[in-house]
Amino acid sequence: MKLQVAFDIQNSDEVHKLVEINGDLIDIVEIGTPLIMKEGLKSVQKIKKEYPNQTVLADLKIMDAGLLEAQIGFDAGADIVTVLGLASKKTLTSVKQTAVKNGRKVMVDMINHPFPEKKWHELMKMGMDYCCLHTAHDDTQDGRTPLNDLEHFYNLHGGNNIAVAGGIKPDMIRKIKNFHPEIVVVGSYIANARNHREALTELHQAMV
């Protein structure tokens, strides 16, 4: 199981400092959509340039213009870009083609998709690298979690190539690890932590 840390509310200087100190505990550095909206893809460029050995994901949430937008993300240095599972087949295919051309990867974000387990059959045929079962941040405020979706998904497909996101904390990781997702995505738990390294260590202990 890999740990992906989503940096949404921080600025790129704060991300730089956190990765400098704690990069050994982070498998995938996600430059989140809000941060990209604030700073543009320069935030991705900066982190990848400073930490070339870190896997960097640009959470672009591509919905259209797959060839163009994926290429922009890869040109900025992203190792992985995200595309929405709700995007058209043409857009999804275009993003994957661009990833193959650049030797990079694609994560399909299933946020708000009504039938993610059915969609994954189609996505596997396209050769998509990862499927993210994602409970929206706004919905986690009402107590929703990705646990039920993950359990149902696991019974059909197993845990390979699956990422899980949405209010993930150590106690949730202990519940979901029985379904063996390949990646767990953590955002606010790290952002709100007083001691980032202690919080990251707690996450890794829960993953064991």
pLDDT of 148 reads 86
Residue 31, SS3?
Answer: strand
Mean pLDDT of 68-93: 98
Residue 1 has pLDDT above 90, yes or no: yes
DSSP per position, 90-143: HHHHHHHHHHHHHT-EEEEE-TT-S-HHHHHHHHHHHT-SEEEEE--HHHHTTT
Torsion, Cα of 189, 195, 197, 198 (10° steps): -80
Which pTM was predicted?
A: 0.97
pLDDT of 10 reads 94
Q: Please tell me the number of Cα atoms within 13 Å of 172 on its side-chain side.
A: 21
For the chain, give the mean pLDDT.
96
d(CA 56, CA 53): 9
**pLDDT band at residue 29 using 50, 70 and 90 as cut-offs:** very high
Residue 181, SS3?
Answer: coil
Walk me through the domains of the chain, giving residue ranges and CATH numbers: 2-207 (3.20.20.70)
d(CA 42, CA 74): 12
pLDDT of 143 reads 85
**Span 160-199, pLDDT tens digits:** 999 999 999 999 999 999 999 999 999 999 999 999 999 9
* Greater pLDDT, 121 or 81: 81
pLDDT of 154 reads 93
pLDDT of 142 reads 87
Residue 64 has pLDDT above 90, yes or no: yes
Residue 135 has pLDDT above 90, yes or no: yes
Q: Please tell me the number of Cα atoms within 13 Å of 191 on its side-chain side.
A: 17
